[in-house]
């Protein structure tokens, strides 16, 4: 079965209250009954099975500026490369995505001009685009990432390839 698939990234307000300096995962999940160390070990195992980098995470960081710069990177034709670089920086290297210098370095790493990246961040050029994504996620009742949408169907959470393939397969009448 051959069909074309277009993936569109959408920004999501995951813990938008996180301060620019970040927040420890222990503090973030202090009121939750989860075993944080076990959950992180599970994530690391799943990531390894999928060939994805996953380092020792101790903090969460505010990703709003990264989302804005990603919208610009997409407009410049470097969206996939930038998303990959941000994933590695955050999940493998533990970088603070709220820091402008981190984001500019990530843009440079995928051959986007540092000066333009800085201007986008300083002028908040893609703020409205991220606001629109956040509003859309609220309207659709999305409460977790990742959430995959295709027509009127959705899947929440990291999923194996076959589950995603079924989601995007054309409906049979």
Number of domains, the chain: 1
pLDDT band per the 50, 70, 90 thresholds, residue 2: low
The closest alpha carbon to 137, from 9, 16, 13, belongs to 13
**Looking at the domain assignment, is residue 165 inside a domain?**
no
CB count in 10 Å sphere of residue 66: 27
Q: What is the pTM of this model?
A: 0.89
Is 134 inside a domain boundary?
A: no
pLDDT, tens only, 24-77:
999 999 998 989 999 999 989 988 988 888 998 899 999 999 999 999 999 999
* Residue-range definition of the domain harbouring residue 112: 23-125
CATH number reported for the structural domain that contains residue 31 in this entry: 3.40.30.10
Determine the Cα–Cα distance for residues 20 and 63; give it in Å rounded to an integer: 9
d(CA 149, CA 94): 28
Do the domain assignments include residue 167?
A: no
Residue 168 maps to a domain: no
Q: Is residue 6 assigned to a domain?
A: no
Q: Please write the tens of the pLDDT for every residue from 146-172.
A: 899 988 889 998 888 888 888 988 877
């Amino acid at each position: 079965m051959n069909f074309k698939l277009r993936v569109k990234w959408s920004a999501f307000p995951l813990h938008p209250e996180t301060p620019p300096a970040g927040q420890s995962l222990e503090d973030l999940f202090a009121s939750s009954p989860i075993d944080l160390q076990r959950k992180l070990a599970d994530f690391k195992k799943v990531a390894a099975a999928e060939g994805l980098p996953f380092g020792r995470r101790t903090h969460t960081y505010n990703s709003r500026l990264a989302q804005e710069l990603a919208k610009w990177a997409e407009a410049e034709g470097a969206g996939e490369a930038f998303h990959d670089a941000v994933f590695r920086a955050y999940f493998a290297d533990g970088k603070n995505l709220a820091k402008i210098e981190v984001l500019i370095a990530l843009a440079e790493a995928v051959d986007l001009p540092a000066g333009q990246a800085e201007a986008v961040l300083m002028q908040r050029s893609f703020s409205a685009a991220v606001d629109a994504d956040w509003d859309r996620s609220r309207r659709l009742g999305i409460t977790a990432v990742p959430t995959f949408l295709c027509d009127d169907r959705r899947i929440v959470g990291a999923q194996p390839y076959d589950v995603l393939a079924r989601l995007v397969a054309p409906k049979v009448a």
